[in-house]
């Protein structure tokens, strides 16, 4: 009974968050300034909705064949600039995961995250020997919110599937696939194992680098990995560069290798990653 009440409260909270976007959707058929305001309001609603809806926004941002390009540009904010939790909360999560003060293992810990996504945020830190590392820390409570949101999404998908003309869209199946993918990203230990596998798969390609998870600092809520200092792909997409054709070919070759040789594919390849 308590679980049902909690789920109902969450559903009402989401309804309040997204209702303004729903009742003003007519702006999409108006002038550009009105559309831009609606896009900004919708992205803000996704942020307030939390991890599940930020992830949906990230997925939509890479589908200009389905989503208007103007909205894709607004959704790009969610790649690595999603709402972050405080540095104090990050410290508490790290200390609970490893059973020691942050300073005992990481004399330098930058309180300002360098990126924040739907599931976790990343802080730059340094080990006692001076090695610079990236510390990925899961947002607090994210797993319980995701579980509730997925229940609501599955319910909505089942209701939509009752519409005869909507059955061919297979909403329940899509909801299940999305849920399975999202659950797989909540456990950061799983991400560490995947990084190790990617490093093994691409060890014969020196031009491709995956971060290396650092033992023993691996936990389901925190993983520490080597810091790879690089420009995000969006920099090259936004600015013509002589290296762009080579980068594009290399990216395509890597993707085809994942599919046809390795059978192990990075399933969250939005520009933020």
Catalytic residues: 268
Displacement of CA 70 from its chain's centroid (Å): 20
Residue 56 near residue 66, CB atoms below 8 Å? no
Q: How far apart are CA 181 and CA 167, in angstroms?
A: 22
The end-to-end CA distance of the chain, in Å, is 40
Distance between CA atoms of 164 and 125, rounded to whole angstroms?
A: 54
Beta bridge partners, 125, equal: 109, 133
Q: Do residues 6 and 152 touch, judged by C-beta distance below 8 A?
A: no
Asked if 186 and 138 count as a contact pair (C-beta separation under 8 A), the reply is yes
Q: Is the omega angle on the peptide bond into residue 216 within 30 degrees of 0, that is, cis?
A: yes
- What is the DSSP code (8-state) at residue 259? I
CB contact at 8 A, 222 and 137: yes
Q: What is the rounded distance in angstroms from the CA atom of residue 151 to the CA atom of residue 156?
A: 9
Distance of CA 173 to the CA centre of its chain: 21
Rounding to the nearest 10 degrees, give the CA dihedral for residues 81, 67, 142, 230.
Answer: -40
């Amino acid at each position: 009974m308590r679980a049902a009440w909690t789920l109902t409260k969450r559903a009402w909270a989401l309804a309040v968050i997204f209702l303004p976007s729903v009742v003003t959707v007519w702006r999409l058929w108006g002038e550009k300034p009105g559309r831009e305001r609606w896009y900004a309001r919708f992205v803000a609603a996704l942020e307030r909705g939390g991890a599940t809806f930020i992830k949906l926004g990230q997925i939509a941002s890479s589908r200009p064949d389905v989503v208007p390009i103007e909205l894709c540009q607004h959704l790009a904010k969610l790649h690595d600039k999603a709402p972050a939790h405080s540095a104090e909360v990050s410290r508490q999560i790290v200390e609970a995961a490893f059973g020691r003060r942050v300073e005992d293992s990481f004399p330098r810990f930058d309180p300002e995250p360098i990126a924040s996504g739907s599931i976790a945020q990343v802080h730059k830190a340094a080990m006692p020997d001076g090695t610079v590392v990236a510390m990925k820390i899961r947002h607090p409570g994210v797993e319980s919110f995701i579980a509730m949101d997925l229940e609501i999404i599955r319910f909505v998908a089942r209701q939509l599937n009752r519409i005869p003309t909507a059955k061919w869209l297979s909403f329940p199946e899509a909801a299940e696939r999305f849920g399975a993918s999202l659950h797989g990203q909540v456990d950061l230990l799983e991400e560490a194992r995947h990084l190790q596998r990617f490093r093994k798969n691409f060890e014969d390609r020196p031009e491709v680098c995956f971060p290396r998870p650092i033992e023993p600092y691996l936990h389901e809520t925190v993983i520490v990995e080597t810091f790879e200092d690089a420009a995000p792909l969006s920099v090259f997409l936004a600015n013509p560069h002589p290296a762009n054709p080579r980068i594009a070919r290399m990216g395509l070759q890597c993707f085809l290798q994942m599919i046809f040789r390795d059978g192990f594919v990075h399933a969250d390849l939005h520009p933020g990653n």
